[in-house]
Structure 1
Amino acid sequence: MLRTLASVLLLLTGVITLTAADSDDFVELFNGENLQGWTQRNGTATYRVEGDEIVGKTAEGSPNSFLCTDKQYGDFEMTFDVKLDPGLNSGVQIRSQTAGDDPMGRVNGPQVEISYDKMAGYVYGEAAGGWMTADADREPTDLFKQGQWNSYRVVANGDRIQTWINGTQVSDLSHPERFASHPKGFIGLQVHGIKQGTGPFEVRWRNLKLRELP
């Protein structure tokens, strides 16, 4: 009954309110021990496991790097915590692909922004047309906290992508064009390329959880 009610609420509002029963639907994307189930695509940044965290570290001269789930996802709700070194830009790819479906091809698709430039939480089309959130809708925020863990929530349902940072909604985006080209794909943890002579920088993720939506 609770799950039926949650489905009705999703259809009416596009937002799911979690209950104790609903929380059981989430699966851990990271097993807490190793990177089994993940594959690095693009770039030479390094990824390692440190306790209950996945840590990405920049490599000078590398293009953007992505640690990607082997499994693909379409409609889902995802939560994660992230902490970012000052000076680094990052993001989490959703419903993403590689060019020509080649494992070495360029990663492309929607990206939920992780950054200190007050644009955190908005949606960018990585190698897929640039900003998906319209210029007029990207209001600067101070929700992303430097040197602290930040909690993200992402709901992707049809052509609608909603994001929250630390409990506050940032974006409510409908993008039929990108949904048509990227209805499903992998989740990818980005380590952005850096300028020569800078870094190294690190980004850390933990509590990566996802549940697929009916």
Structure 2
Amino acid sequence: MKKILSVLILFAAVLLSHGAPEKFVSLFDGKSSNGWKGALGNYDFSDGMIRCQKGRGGTIYTEQQFTNFVVRFEFKLPPGGNNGLAIRYPGQGNPAYAGMCELQVLDNTAPKYAKLDPRQYHGSAYGMVAAERGHLKPVGEWNAQTVTVVGSSIKVELNGAVILDCDLAAVTQFMQNKAHLGKERTFGHFGFAGHNDPVAFRNIYLKEL
């Protein structure tokens, strides 16, 4: 019995050591939509993942709002997968325009996306600033991403490489000349903007700055 107890204690210690990074908090309990709002019925919250249901979409977002923060997470794309990160989202409207921005989560290799505007590829501040391509892992593998939002600046690191580092306050040209009225927002929710594809997210941690 003592040996079994020792093994259980060791196992618990290992689990704790793989929890939230220092000073980060988990945004997802791994099994439920607790702490989230929005189009919850269009997503699955289970098995340690938040996954948009195939053929469904909409935006889900944290109950809490944030100003400056760092968010770390992992994501996995299906072939042709499309989703997005809602940054400083007000809780209604299109995150790309009503929020500070939507950061693309996209399978850049899909033939159907071959002729997109550069500001529509993965990691880009949608319609405003293009991210550097070439750092996504093959479709079906987990990618690691970190997003830092401070003031009007956003930095995106994908699998260890900085693919976006920009100041949205300096942006004056927009895709299709469509203004992003929310880009000056100083606080809001963090969320995921689904576009009918089963893109999955896990290990979602945030630290306020």
2:135–2:158 contact (8 Å) kept in structure 1: no
The aligned runs of 1:169-188 (5 Å cut-off) are 169-176=162-169, 181-188=184-191
Residue 90 of structure 1 corresponds to which residue in structure 2?
83
Looking at structure 1, the residues matched to 76 and 195 of structure 2 have their Cα atoms a distance apart, in angstroms, of 14
The aligned runs of 1:197-208 (5 Å cut-off) are 201-208=197-204
Answer yes or no: is 1:189 the counterpart of 2:192: yes
Looking at structure 2, the residues matched to 165 and 140 of structure 1 have their Cα atoms a distance apart, in angstroms, of 10
Identity of aligned residues (%): 28
Shift of 1:150: 0.5
Correspondence for 1:51 among 22, 47, 55? 47
Residue 146 of structure 2 corresponds to which residue in structure 1?
153
Q: Compare CA radii of gyration and give the structure with the larger one.
A: 2
Q: Structure 1 pair 90/106, CA: closer, same or farther in 2 (3 Å)?
A: closer
Range with bigger deviation, 113-122 or 86-95: 113-122
> Gaps spanning 5+ residues in structure 1: where?
1-21, 100-104, 125-130, 194-200
Structure 1, residues 88-132: CA drift from partner, whole Å, max 9, x if none? 211111111145xxxxx44432112111226211211xxxxxx12
Q: Structure 1 pair 161/50, CA: closer, same or farther in 2 (3 Å)?
A: same
2:32–2:46 contact (8 Å) kept in structure 1: no
Answer yes or no: is 1:77 the counterpart of 2:70: yes
Structure 1, residues 24-62: CA drift from partner, whole Å, max 9, x if none? 210000012211110124xx9721122111111133xx5
Looking at structure 2, the residues matched to 123 and 106 of structure 1 have their Cα atoms a distance apart, in angstroms, of 14
1:45–1:56 contact (8 Å) kept in structure 2: no
Shift of 1:87: 2.0
Residue 19 of structure 1 corresponds to which residue in structure 2?
none
Shift of 1:164: 0.7
How many aligned positions are there? 166
Shift of 1:144: 4.3
1:93–1:112 contact (8 Å) kept in structure 2: yes
The aligned runs of 1:1-214 (5 Å cut-off) are 23-41=21-39, 46-59=42-55, 64-99=57-92, 105-107=93-95, 108-109=98-99, 110-117=101-108, 119-124=121-126, 131-133=127-129, 137-176=130-169, 181-193=184-196, 201-213=197-209
Helix, strand or coil for the counterpart of 1:123?
A: coil
Looking at structure 2, the residues matched to 175 and 159 of structure 1 have their Cα atoms a distance apart, in angstroms, of 6
Helix, strand or coil for the counterpart of 2:103?
A: strand
Looking at structure 2, the residues matched to 120 and 205 of structure 1 have their Cα atoms a distance apart, in angstroms, of 15
1:45–1:65 contact (8 Å) kept in structure 2: no
Helix, strand or coil for the counterpart of 2:33?
A: coil
Looking at structure 2, the residues matched to 72 and 144 of structure 1 have their Cα atoms a distance apart, in angstroms, of 31
Q: What is the Cα-based RMSD across aligned positions, in Å?
A: 2.4
